[in-house]
């Protein structure tokens, strides 16, 4: 009997031990306390060094310091178009209402309430409301707009506002880290980061005016609808651009890169708008073009540099000075110029009446000339000067009537009296055919264009053009060409041996 009791007691102990083991074995019969739960590894896999920690801290500090100076702008607009114009076009609405609501961003540039934004954000606005970082919402007045740069200034009635520091966009470098701060897609106070992908971007067609200034900073920091008018800042917190547009896409949203207006241009425009309500911009009064390798060779330049003056605007500032068609502008006030939009952007920051010093390349020499900028409305109809002369008309029967230059892919013929009257020229040869992907094709020459000069000499007929081409074999020839509307430009074309 005693042994049976002993056996029973031992059995109970064994069962207790087994049952206890089951409870703690993870079958879920008993849950551990919060204090006993350990998730993940015990330490991060990488220990950040001081440089990496400092780099991350720079983004954090910039976001904290700059974001309060960025506002959200809500606009009611009386336009039949999208409030964002051609920048963000939504094709889903065929019959848009007379009044629409849009939104964008802005940068506070003064403690008493001046804010810079994009023109396309507030264009045709009937009412503008600004949302501040501290949640206040205030009505705003449009002080002035400048469609040619897509900039505008608005004002709210407030004091002691946080202001952004406006930096120097001339010192930007490709590859530099930047941050875009704004209110995209109605998401307030959004920060994205990337690098400067390119500078001096033009020919984008974002400003549809022949006088429009396109000299954008390109960045891969995400910019979406609503970011327009927000800040592009460097890692010191300096605003170096005003976010303006995204690359066109089917969705109207970010596809890898966006564009910002350089802050140096924005500062000069904002000052004019605040002081006068409009921009009193000066103009040189010239038509300009880019210089490629063939043109540089034909002009006698050591390499493609500068920009060529394609035409002089009648009555413009340049027409009063010793500045000629075919001159190459190398510098403006000592600043090197290598793209047409670089000169446009620089001149756009100057007021009418300002004197600008130009370094020109002419006939193999560098010369200095100065020009006093005039206001745009003083330039008349801005028609380029078309030179005509008293050279004796030479009948097409007196020389070869037509010729094909196979190496150039170019066919020309002599002009009839009717042709000359139509084009308003006294001499030249008419292009009748251009072979696809030929040298002539690559220089945008085409049927119906007149070659009026070659190697800075007037061309009367096909034979004269032949002689000039033959004398330049292995080199390049500068051509002056004109279309039916009277627009003319210079073209450089290489002549094979």
| Active-site amino acid positions | 120, 150, 228
Strand 238-246 vs strand 165-166: parallel, antiparallel, or unpaired? parallel
- Which of 325, 333, 332 is closest to 362 using CA atoms? 325
- Are 219 and 257 in contact by the 8 Å Cβ rule? The answer is yes
Give CA–CA dist 239/261, Å, rounded.
11
Give CA–CA dist 14/6, Å, rounded.
13
- Are 468 and 298 in contact by the 8 Å Cβ rule? The answer is no
- Which of 243, 232, 344 is closest to 285 using CA atoms? 344
List the helix and strand counts (H, then E) for the chain.
Answer: 9, 28
The single residue listed with the structure tokens 């009418």 is: 352
Helices (H), 349-446: 417-423, 439-442
Task: Show Cβ contacts of residue 430 under 8 Å, excluding neighbours closer than 6 positions.
Answer: 412, 413, 414, 415, 419, 448, 449, 450, 451
Please provide the DSSP assignment of 62-76 as one string. Answer: HHHHHGGGEEEEEEE
């Amino acid at each position: 009997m005693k042994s049976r009791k002993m056996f029973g007691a031992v059995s109970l102990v064994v069962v207790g031990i087994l049952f206890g083991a089951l409870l703690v074995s993870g079958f879920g019969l008993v849950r551990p306390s919060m204090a006993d739960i350990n998730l993940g590894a015990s330490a991060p896999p990488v220990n950040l060094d001081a440089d990496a920690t400092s780099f991350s801290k720079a983004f954090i500090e910039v976001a904290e310091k700059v974001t309060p100076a960025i506002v959200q702008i809500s606009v009611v607009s009386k336009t039949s178009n999208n409030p964002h114009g051609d920048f963000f076009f939504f094709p889903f609405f065929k019959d848009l209402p007379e009044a629409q609501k849009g939104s964008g961003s802005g940068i506070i540039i003064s403690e008493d309430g001046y804010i810079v934004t994009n023109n396309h954000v507030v264009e045709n606005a009937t009412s503008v409301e600004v949302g501040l970082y501290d949640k206040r919402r205030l009505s705003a007045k449009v002080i002035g707009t400048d469609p040619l740069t897509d900039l505008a200034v608005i004002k709210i009635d407030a004091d002691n506002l946080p202001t952004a520091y406006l930096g120097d966009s001339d010192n930007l470098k490709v590859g530099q880290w930047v941050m875009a701060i704004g209110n995209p897609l109605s998401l307030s106070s959004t920060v994205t980061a990337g690098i400067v992908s390119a500078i001096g971007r033009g020919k984008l067609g974002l400003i549809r005016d022949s006088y429009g200034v396109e000299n954008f900073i390109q960045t891969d920091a995400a910019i979406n609808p609503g970011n327009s008018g927000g800040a592009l800042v460097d890692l010191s917190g300096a605003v170096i651009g005003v976010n303006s547009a995204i690359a066109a896409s089917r969705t109207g949203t970010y596809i890898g890169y966006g564009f910002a207006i350089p802050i140096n241009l924005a500062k000069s425009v904002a000052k004019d708008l605040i002081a006068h309500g409009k921009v009193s911009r000066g103009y040189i009064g010239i038509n300009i073009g880019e210089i490629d390798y063939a043109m540089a060779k034909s002009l006698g330049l050591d390499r493609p540099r500068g920009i060529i003056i394609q035409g002089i605007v009648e009555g413009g500032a340049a027409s009063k000075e010793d500045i000629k068609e075919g001159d190459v502008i190398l510098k403006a006030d000592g600043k090197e110029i290598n793209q047409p939009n670089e000169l446009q952007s620089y001149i756009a920051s100057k007021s009418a009446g300002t004197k600008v010093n130009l370094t020109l390349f002419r006939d193999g020499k560098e010369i200095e000339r100065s020009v006093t900028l005039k206001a745009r409305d003083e330039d008349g109809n801005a028609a380029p000067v078309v030179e005509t002369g008293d050279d004796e008309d030479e009948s097409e029967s007196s020389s070869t009537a037509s010729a094909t230059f196979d190496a150039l892919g170019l066919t020309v013929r002599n002009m009839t009296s009717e042709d000359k009257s139509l084009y308003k020229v006294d001499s030249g040869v008419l292009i009748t055919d251009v072979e696809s992907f030929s040298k002539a094709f690559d220089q945008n020459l085409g049927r119906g264009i007149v070659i009026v000069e070659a190697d800075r000499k007037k061309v009367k007929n096909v034979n004269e053009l032949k002689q000039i081409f033959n004398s330049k074999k292995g080199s390049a020839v500068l051509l002056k060409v004109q279309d039916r509307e009277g627009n003319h430009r210079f073209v450089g074309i290489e002549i094979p041996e």
